Amino acid sequence: MCGRYTLTNPDPKRLKIRFGIDAPFEFDERPRFNIAPTDSVLAVRDEDGTRELGKLRWGLMPGRWAEKPGRPLINARAETLATQPAYSESFRERRCLIPADGFYEWKKLPTGKQPVWISRPDEDLFAFAGIWARLERSDGEVVHSCSIVTTEPNEMMREIHDRMPVILDPGVESTWLDPAADPDDLLALLGPAKAGALVAREVGENVNDVRKDGPELLEPPLKLF
């Protein structure tokens, strides 16, 4: 599962270069250290061969959600992405990249749950595999929402949690966005991160409070002796 993540340096020029953004965009994005479900998040989409950077609401609300509202779907399991009705249409037609530089998970210990921040060793940008949906509400408002795809954990993550978000290798991000990509080829991309691709470190309990969103969230936990 992935329930919180970070984008601590959302510099527009950096994002444009890293993700090959073609279309002009404007936003005033502050550093985020505690991105949570229902937040507006940055996402890269392919629109007629042009890469666009925009914002989506985190928590997928597919079209059928309008008739029978439920809890927004923040994660989509890779194993059922092509067959689960809530996800299958978005998987076939509306895929996206969700920029991040880390995510949180909670490791179960005898003393309770320990927050852990997982990132690349160099703490640089990466992309979650995402899907998105368009929903027109009864009042005419149009909501574009997204979900992060999750998969089985790699060896490191297995010690922390039984799921992990799909972090795409940069070399296959274009395939994920390609509208004409074969579904079987896409599903083959949705495995766990390679060994050594990620590192984990314990952080303090500030991340448990969604109202807190500063660099102190990445500080190590206070140890009392």
Distances (CA, A) of 17 to 51, 90, 164: 12, 26, 26
Q: Is 105 a catalytic residue?
A: yes
Catalytic member of 67, 96, 105, 205: 105
Is there a domain that residue 38 lies in? yes
- Strand 50-58 and strand 142-151: the pairing is parallel
Is there a domain that residue 223 lies in? no
For the record, the structure tokens of 208 come out as 């448990």
pLDDT at 43 over 70: yes
Interacting residues of 165 by C-beta distance below 8 A, sequence separation 6+: 2, 5, 75, 103, 128, 129, 148, 149, 150, 151
pLDDT at 85 over 70: yes
Is there a domain that residue 224 lies in? no
Distances (CA, A) of 74 to 2, 77, 197, 223: 8, 10, 24, 33
Catalytic member of 2, 96, 146, 173: 2
Note down the domain range covering 121. 5-218
Q: What is the mean pLDDT of residues 157-161?
A: 95
Is there a domain that residue 63 lies in? yes
Higher-confidence position of 24 and 6: 6
pLDDT digits (tens, 9 = 90+) for 89-147: 999 999 999 999 999 999 999 989 999 999 999 999 999 999 999 998 778 888 999 99
pLDDT digits (tens, 9 = 90+) for 44-77: 999 989 999 999 999 999 876 655 666 889 999 9
Give the pLDDT of residue 1: 78
pLDDT digits (tens, 9 = 90+) for 194-203: 999 999 999 9
For the record, the structure tokens of 221 come out as 């936990």
* CATH number for position 69: 3.90.1680.10
pLDDT at 15 over 70: yes
Distance from C-alpha of 58 to C-alpha of 55, rounded to nearest angstrom: 9
pTM: 0.94
Is there a domain that residue 52 lies in? yes
Is there a domain that residue 23 lies in? yes
Give the pLDDT of residue 137: 78
State the pLDDT confidence band at 223, using cuts at 50, 70 and 90. Answer: low
Q: Give the count of domains, the chain.
A: 1
Q: Is 146 a catalytic residue?
A: no
Is there a domain that residue 225 lies in? no
3-state secondary structure of 143: strand
Mean pLDDT of the chain: 93
Is there a domain that residue 60 lies in? yes
Place of tokens 């500063």: 214
Contact between 204 and 219 (Cβ < 8 Å): yes
